[in-house]
Amino acid sequence: QKEVEQDPGPLSVPEGAIVSLNCTYSNSAFQYFMWYRQYSRKGPELLMYTYSSGNKEDGRFTAQVDKSSKYISLFIRDSQPSDSATYLCAMRRGSEKLVFGKGTKLTVNP
Amino acid sequence: DVKVTQSSRYLVKRTGEKVFLECVQDMDHENMFWYRQDPGLGLRLIYFSYDVKMKEKGDIPEGYSVSREKKERFSLILESASTNQTSMYLCASIRNSEQYFGPGTRLTVT
């Protein structure tokens, strides 16, 4: 079983839709959870960062961590064409190296 | 504002050449990382460094070496480039448990 699983998509939605992106993981010791957005031919950009369980909201973006289910989510409300990118989840325990999902490619159609 | 820069955005080299990829961060971070990113394989850690002159192997160090003579600079070296090292190379550093990436270098080895 892989440490982090992420559906690669692709996911295609109309503008204004609510988008749900998810990752599951197997290591219950993970404490830090991140979401990155990566535009084509660019480096990943840190979007959301959460420590332990709970929700975090930033504008149209909400990150959720459910440690009991080993499941994290990123919700995008009122999605825009500029949200079209690949979204990577990442997580780690303490100061250990980050473990990444393989990314989900999202397209928001005008 | 967090700043991680990489010396080149695009690079084309010949098989057997020695290649240097440079990464600089201006935030006095101790931890720095080199990844490569390939379609279907995601991000894979090559090497990382916790401090000046310290280095640790990541998941795929074969064919690569690194140098960290100054805190702000972390170099990735391909001693003898091969076509299977054609990839997107990403440098990253950590501040307050948050990992930030550079813009990436797309290397083509012909």
pLDDT digits (tens, 9 = 90+) for B27-77: 888 899 999 999 989 999 999 999 998 999 999 999 999 999 999 999 999
Which range among A92-96, A103-107, B20-24 shows the weakest confidence by mean pLDDT? A92-96
Peptide bond into A10 cis (omega under 30): yes
Residue B87 has pLDDT above 80, yes or no: yes
A110 touches chain B (CB under 8 A): no
- In contact, A103 and A25? CB cutoff 8 Å: no
- In contact, B13 and B107? CB cutoff 8 Å: yes
CB within 8 A of B7, min separation 6: which ones? B20, B21, B22, B23, B24, B105
Per-residue confidence (pLDDT) for residue A54, from 0 to 100: 86
Q: What is the mean pLDDT of residues B9-32?
A: 93
* Distance between CA atoms of residues A6 and A2, nearest Å: 10
* Distance between CA atoms of residues B76 and B32, nearest Å: 11
d(CA A11, nearest CA chain B) in Å: 16
Whether B42 sits inside 8 A of A32 (CB atoms) is no
Per-residue confidence (pLDDT) for residue B1, from 0 to 100: 67
* Distance between CA atoms of residues B47 and B91, nearest Å: 10
Residues from B contacting A (CB-CB < 8 Å) are 4, 31, 33, 40-43, 45, 48, 58, 88, 90, 97-104, 106
Per-residue confidence (pLDDT) for residue A53, from 0 to 100: 84
Q: Which of B6, B25, B21 is nearest to B108 (CA)?
A: B21
A and B: number of Cβ contacts within 8 A:
42
- Give the model's confidence band at B2: pLDDT under 50 very low, under 70 low, under 90 confident, else very high: low
CB within 8 A of B20, min separation 6: which ones? B7, B75, B76, B77
- Token pair 């057997």 is found at B16
**Cα angle B68-B69-B75, degrees, rounded to a multiple of 5:** 40
For the record, the structure tokens of B61 come out as 């160090």
A98 touches chain B (CB under 8 A): yes
A101 touches chain B (CB under 8 A): yes
